[in-house]
Chain A
């Protein structure tokens, strides 16, 4: 019979076993009274960062609202793997309308709650990067600009995964996707284009914007909880590796997510009213190569080595580190 060896500690990480922590510091999922927005049995791939991120985020919302919440979901992997009738994995009132309108549908839920004078129930909207930075961007910007009482969560796996890995406005430079193939003189996604939605959200001056990663679930929960303590339009952008689209090992999802943070490619920060108020410093800086080489979507950068591309991507990471002051400034 085949068996899986149980690992109690991840070596080479900063992870601490829950039992070593004080009760109040333990991750919510380890508690007896944890909520369960997204049940087991959904159809996400093994190692899906989006499923993990969504469960932690929505469980935090459930706790913050004492389960008085409604979720609106854009079309995409999360919607498809969680919901086919009659096997919905959602334990909360949940609605899917279209690919590009989740922010507006959530605005409608918020407006209905206002009309009915209900302040106890809160609404969140969620979608992938394609739903957020591309097709739903108009509705999202409208929701921000009106400062509707909606928390919007983007699960950024950096491509249209549900339709089989095509490029989105959030696909990073040089990444392979099925519409940015690793062929020609500049293989993969072209350099120098793409959207940074957290910064665009900040430019709306909304009360709260944060980035988070499945590599730091504690931080993710804390940010969602904080977002729910605020009224008005709020935005959280969560980095969620997709083993299928990134051609990475499902067992490496957390590791890949952590390397994105520790390299500076995915900075973790919070902003209020358009100004950065906090950032998570990098504890042990790694090179972008260490992040890229675990993912088959960047394979063409290493066979043969594309020094120019690697330097440019490193420069992007270093610019982030500088912009968000992710490392102690050198004397």
Chain B
């Protein structure tokens, strides 16, 4: 049924319908509304015998799920930003052990400077950990992806992160078609673990592996992701059959046919990008866009197929590989190796900086007419940067960079950003 509902509530409601058995959570903005809602549902007995643990840290939260999952329970948590970094060791461990944990990432920037607003630096920091990473474009998809995530994780015995933009999605009220228990039950079968701690059939899980087999174990983890490339579109189709709407899949394409220039991005900014595409098309620019849903595994093959006739791809990404440039665009370049396609990197939306449609349109025109430097930073305030660089050159003890910049920019709202 359709509800006008906050993104976090929609996700919490949907996760509850997936019948998790153990959840362990630690609060961090902007994830809090999700876990608060789930804790209430558990306490009210709305999720059967589900256990909700208030733990001492994110590292503890994921570690609890590692134990619970190995014991054969369906497990869930949510975090973001510093919380994801704090659990990093367990993030790799859960994937290495092949435990089908589902975790929401309410995407947020990484400090320092501490910043609670949205970008994708947090998920990107864990992109090689072995988790499947799916990015939602809107709150309907955020909710739907969780249903698909439990089935995908358990089918492959591989953990899945569902990434949704912090605040932009988690705190936005939109109309979301919430599924029924019957629909979810029809889609997500009972959890049948591939490995379990069972006194009737004792196994050792997580023991040491030496050089003689480690590479093969890693290859098999990679192979799981290769299988996921087939499973993700199949499960998206199966989802559509039951829920009568399209959600997920490897990617979502918009006016890609006959497009010479394609914009590519992850997450909610695709709404703005689609509007920009509409406007550019009206002006006669042959553009289209791709919303990548699956970032891990990276759908190289499918992407090559979709973009083969394009001349240019402009990747808008909310992250920065400091000292290098784009993270997503690097993967795109790798995927398109050998094709005569220019790939531009546009670093945008860091720490919650808005990505206005006008800036997107200007950047596309600039790229097509003059080309872009690599990487291109969207809407940088060059006056402030140059002032700070000059200050740093003039005096050794130039002070904390962030404070200096803020002093120049002034309190929020006093100057346009």
Contact = CB atoms under 8 A, between A and B. Distances in A.
B207 to A, nearest CB: 4
A85 B67 contact: no
Interface string B205-220: 1111110010000000
B204 A88 contact: yes
Contacts of A142: 55-57, 60
B202 A111 contact: no
Contact of A107 (B67, B206, B207): B67
Given A93-B199, A139-B63, A104 B93 contact: no
A92 interface: yes
Interface in B40-54: 49-51, 53-54
Contact of A112 (B22, B199, B205): B22
A91 interface: yes
Contact of A70 (B69, B90, B197): B197
Given A95-B197, A97-B63, A101-B59, A111 B73 contact: yes
Given A104-B64, A107-B53, A95 B93 contact: no
Interface stretch (A114-122, A163-171, A196-204, A296-304): A114-122
A141 interface: yes
Interface residues of B, number: 43
A104 B66 CA distance: 9
Contacts of A90: 202, 204
Closest 10 CB pairs of A and B: A108-B67, A142-B56, A104-B63, A112-B71, A101-B63, A83-B207, A105-B67, A112-B73, A108-B68, A108-B64
Contacts of B60: 101, 104, 107, 138-139, 142
Contacts of B67: 72, 95, 97, 104-112, 123
B165 interface: no
B352 interface: no
Contact of A104 (B55, B75, B206): B55
A97 B91 CA distance: 11
B241 interface: no
Interface of B: 21-22, 24, 49-51, 53-57, 59-61, 63-73, 75, 89-90, 93, 97, 197-199, 202-210, 213
B197 A109 contact: yes
Contacts, number: 161
A95 B205 contact: yes
14 contacts: A69-B199, A70-B197, A72-B67, A84-B210, A93-B198, A98-B63, A108-B53, A108-B70, A108-B75, A115-B21, A115-B51, A138-B57, A139-B60, A142-B55
Given A98-B93, A109-B197, A83 B56 contact: no
Given A107-B53, A116-B71, A141-B56, 13 more contacts: A69-B199, A70-B199, A83-B207, A94-B197, A94-B202, A94-B205, A96-B205, A101-B90, A107-B55, A108-B66, A108-B73, A114-B49, A115-B73
Interface of A: 67-70, 72, 79-80, 83-85, 88, 90-98, 100-101, 104-117, 121, 123, 138-139, 141-142, 145-146
A108 B198 contact: no
B57 A95 contact: no
A101 B89 CA distance: 10
A117 B64 contact: no
B199 A121 contact: yes
A94 B67 CA distance: 11
Q: Identify which of B53, B71, B89 gathers the most chain A CB atoms within 10 Å of its CB.
A: B71
Contacts of B70: 95, 105, 108-109
